Structure 1
Amino acid sequence: MSAIDDLPPLREVIASHGLSARKALGQNFLLDLNLTAKIARQAGDLRGTDVLEVGPGPGGLTRGLLSEGARRVLAVEKDPRCLPALAEIAAAYPGRLEVIEGDALAINALERLTPPIAICANLPYNVGTELLVRWLTPPSWPPVWDSLTLMFQKEVAERIVAQPGSKAYGRLAILAQWRCDVQIAMHLPPEAFTPPPKVSSAVVHLRALPEPRFDADAKTLERVVAAGFNQRRKMLRASLKSLSPQIEDHLVAVGIAPTERAEQVSVEGFCALARRLA
């Protein structure tokens, strides 16, 4: 008996289905069901909420989400070996778990869910950042989801919450903090996983703001931020020169010294510059 439901412990599930983690799929399994339930709780009150999970593997976090009261979980799994184990969970929670076999990068799973929607996942390392960027850049804002509760390598998590002036601060921080409240909710050591990865992990919680924190056109902002951080060692008057011949005048007009570098400029500063350039 496990601590959160009547299904077998995950070690037994993995052994009975032959589910050794595959490096090519970025798999590292969490076997402690009390820990997966704790991660699920970081997403907030899930009662009455549809949840999207990417890369459920043998279903540790899936069981945590269901035991914490998620109205419905839609799990997208690329590894067909995991489907029988997930089917057993679906049988134990009738009508509350749907599993789609496929690549999360190729499937628009969100259109299959009913708001309110939360996304909660121990993301495969090899696609985590790309999925986050997609969720943060929908065609219109606010997005269909209310919150993201996602596990990343610690280094990526620190980039999401980084503040100006730090080495970790960059495009990911601006993209996330422009439209969301962000925080690191949990840290997990390598030994929490099977097999243990070479790096520590962290769970990041992002809650969508009703409107972006500062007014700016999304495409213009992305262009300005990309230009600044693609040459982050250069002063802004040089790294942003391709955007406008009068870039120094524009920088001064919005209160940014042309000699500053991208990592010194706040989200508000980048938005002000984007508005002026637009």
Structure 2
Amino acid sequence: MAVPGKAAAFRLPPLPTIREIIKLFRLRAQKQLSQNFLLDLQLTDKIVRQAGELTNAHVCEVGPGPGGITRSILNTDVAQLLLVEKDARFIPGLQMLSEAAPGKVRIVHGDILTYKMEKAFPKYLKKKWEDEPPNIHIVGNLPFSVSTPLIIKWLENVSNRDGPFFYGRTQMTLTFQKEVGERLTAKTGGKQRSRLSIMAQHLCSVENCFVIPGQAFVPQPEVDVAVVHFTPLVQPKIQQPFKLVEKVVQSAFQFRRKYCCRGIGILFPESERLKKTEQLMMEADVDPTLRPFQLSMSHFSNLCNVYRKMCDEDPNLFTYNYREELRQKKRLPKNTSHSEEIEEEEEEDEDKKNQL
């Protein structure tokens, strides 16, 4: 019986199940694209609930695949749903969903890493940064291969207030490998504290909502999956440009098991490394014998502020690249990965220790 005075909720008409869609269009998850399908609609509903109130909202779903989360989003009665899907094999199945929800769905066959999000939504939805978040949400079960580069890109967009954040403090609800989810939310001193922890938490309120066991996915990944919700902060905790913060944080965590002064030192050319590192640590009031994961957000804020002052005094300092210096010193080929260089240096350190 209908409840008087209440509009009937939007529900999709009867459709083939996700399993039937996969069978109908002969869809197989591609391992090289790290694709894993979530077929349990109770779980897709649970993910969508973490996004908040979506009735009449404008939503962008990243990588909808066969459309499990898409159905859960549509059942909340959104105003508009933008689907950005890179894999052309999924488009016909998504078009079926579009036809079942006339006027609500727009499908873009493209790569979310290059898609211009500034033009994704109507301009009237734009809010001032200081206001409540706009009625825009990003939701996605991300392939593992793209999740970290994508969140780093979006965190830079948060810092610059462009991309999806042209409209204000757009909220995101995304999936990551459990370990990445733990890094994103790790507290000072935690074993998962990392570059990702600082970059995310200085710009956003980050909540690890719940964990989905790997066996819920097809094919089953070797890891469990975390659902993480992001709300950009009105004021970042570190008041410096994204690239500068990224450089300081990345350097600090370069030698995770060593004293933080070891990583901070690679901000400076070898000829003045000792003197400049000592100056930076002293002026930032940071104990050089702390490990990188023991540094608080205020430690990083101080380090970034002092490093910015040093860069202002010496305009060439910010362009200094430790990796390039290391390559030239060891005559490594240009395509040598960063991790290979660092591993080589770590091994040298261990060898010296063993000799002693």
**One-letter amino acid of the counterpart of residue 267, structure 1:** M
In 1, Cα distance between the equivalents of 2:27 and 2:213?
22
CA RMSD of aligned residues (A): 1.8
From 201, 214, 234, give the equivalent of 1:210: 234
Structure with greater strand percent:
1
- 1:249 matched to 2:279? The reply is yes
Under a length normalisation based on structure 2, what TM-score does the superposition of the two structures give? 0.73
From 112, 125, 137, give the equivalent of 2:144: 125
SS at match of 1:94: coil
User: Which structure is richer in relative contact order (CA contacts within 8 A, separation 6 or more)?
Assistant: 1
- How big is the shift at 1:141? 3.5
Are the aligned partners of 2:252 and 2:261 in contact in 1 as well (CA < 8 Å)? no
The aligned residue for residue 85 of structure 2 is: 77
- How big is the shift at 1:110? 4.5
From 5, 30, 34, give the equivalent of 1:26: 34
From 87, 91, 114, give the equivalent of 2:99: 91
**One-letter amino acid of the counterpart of residue 106, structure 2:** E
- How big is the shift at 1:167? 2.6
What are the residue-to-residue correspondences of 1:267-278 with 2, within 5 Å? 267-278=297-308
SS at match of 1:230: coil
- How big is the shift at 1:46? 1.4
Structure with greater helix percent:
2
The aligned residue for residue 171 of structure 2 is: 147
The aligned residue for residue 166 of structure 1 is: 190
Give unmatched runs, 5+ long, in structure 2: 1-10, 126-133, 269-274, 309-356
SS at match of 2:211: strand
In 2, Cα distance between the equivalents of 1:146 and 1:64?
20
SS at match of 1:137: helix
- 1:50 matched to 2:34? The reply is no
Q: Which runs of 4+ in 1 moved over 6 A?
A: none
Larger CA Rg, structure 1 vs 2: 2
From 246, 260, 264, give the equivalent of 2:294: 264
Give unmatched runs, 5+ long, in structure 1: none
In 2, Cα distance between the equivalents of 1:54 and 1:141?
20
Structure 1 range deviating more: 211-220 or 17-26: 211-220
The aligned residue for residue 157 of structure 1 is: 181
SS at match of 2:253: helix
In 2, Cα distance between the equivalents of 1:165 and 1:111?
40
Percent of pairs with identical residues: 40
Are the aligned partners of 1:37 and 1:68 in contact in 2 as well (CA < 8 Å)? no
The aligned residue for residue 239 of structure 1 is: 263
- How big is the shift at 1:255? 2.8
- 1:183 matched to 2:207? The reply is yes
SS at match of 2:144: coil
**One-letter amino acid of the counterpart of residue 97, structure 2:** I
Under a length normalisation based on structure 1, what TM-score does the superposition of the two structures give? 0.93
The aligned residue for residue 332 of structure 2 is: none
